[in-house]
């Protein structure tokens, strides 16, 4: 039976987000893992997501703030996905991910790190985007109104 191993919801809303990226902690400083997720580029016109090595770029609706939830599963999670969902595989070289917002290049604004537990691995991932107009989502703060909720669910490719 598939089990949720660990989860984390970014505790603060993000006014803008570039995506969720692989990060390294080299010499005590947090930075982007190589290859950099900046190489993926933003989602194409009319799309809300793009994926590549070490990152998933996201496009919120632009109507409010953004919350991100990470989930690590032992196998495929339940399939109760919202209408806007994407599934695929992604290489995470460092085994650690973080939301990226703000600047470009030297001005990367990284947030809380979520450790997937295994470096240099291709992960299965489901990403769901739901725009919240009320406070009925139990995994996110009750005060989240006019908010985009991104849920990223990861599980190993080799079970």
The domain spanning residue 48 has which CATH number? 2.60.34.30
Domain that holds residue 43: 4-134+142-156
Backbone angles phi, psi at 85, to 5 degrees: -145, 155
In percent, the amount of the chain with pLDDT more than 70 equals 89
pLDDT of residue 106: 52
Question: Chain-wide mean pLDDT for the chain?
Answer: 86
Q: Which long-range contacts (CB under 8 A, 24 or more apart) does 34-41 make?
A: 34/93, 35/93, 37/100, 38/104, 38/105
Model confidence band, residue 98 (pLDDT cutoffs 50, 70, 90): very high
Entry pTM = 0.85
Average pLDDT over residues 58-77: 90
What total of structural domains would you count in the chain?
1
Nearest CA among 90, 71, 75 for reference residue 21: 90
Q: Which tens digits make up the pLDDT trace of 101-121?
A: 865 555 568 899 999 999 999
């Amino acid at each position: 039976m598939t089990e949720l191993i660990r989860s984390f919801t970014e505790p603060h809303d993000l006014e803008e987000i570039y995506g969720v990226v692989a990060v390294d902690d080299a010499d005590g400083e947090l930075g982007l893992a190589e290859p950099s997720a900046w190489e993926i580029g933003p989602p194409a016109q009319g799309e809300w997501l793009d994926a590549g090595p070490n990152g998933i770029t996201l496009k919120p609706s632009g109507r409010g703030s953004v919350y991100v939830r990470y989930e690590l599963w032992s196998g495929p999670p339940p399939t109760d996905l919202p209408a806007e969902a994407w599934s695929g595989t992604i290489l995470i070289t460092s085994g650690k991910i973080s939301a990226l917002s703000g600047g470009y290049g030297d001005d990367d604004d990284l947030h809380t790190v979520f450790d997937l537990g295994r470096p240099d691995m291709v992960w299965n991932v489901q990403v769901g985007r739901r725009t919240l107009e009320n406070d009925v989502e139990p995994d996110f703060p009750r005060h989240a109104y006019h908010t985009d909720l991104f849920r990223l669910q990861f599980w190993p490719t080799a079970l």
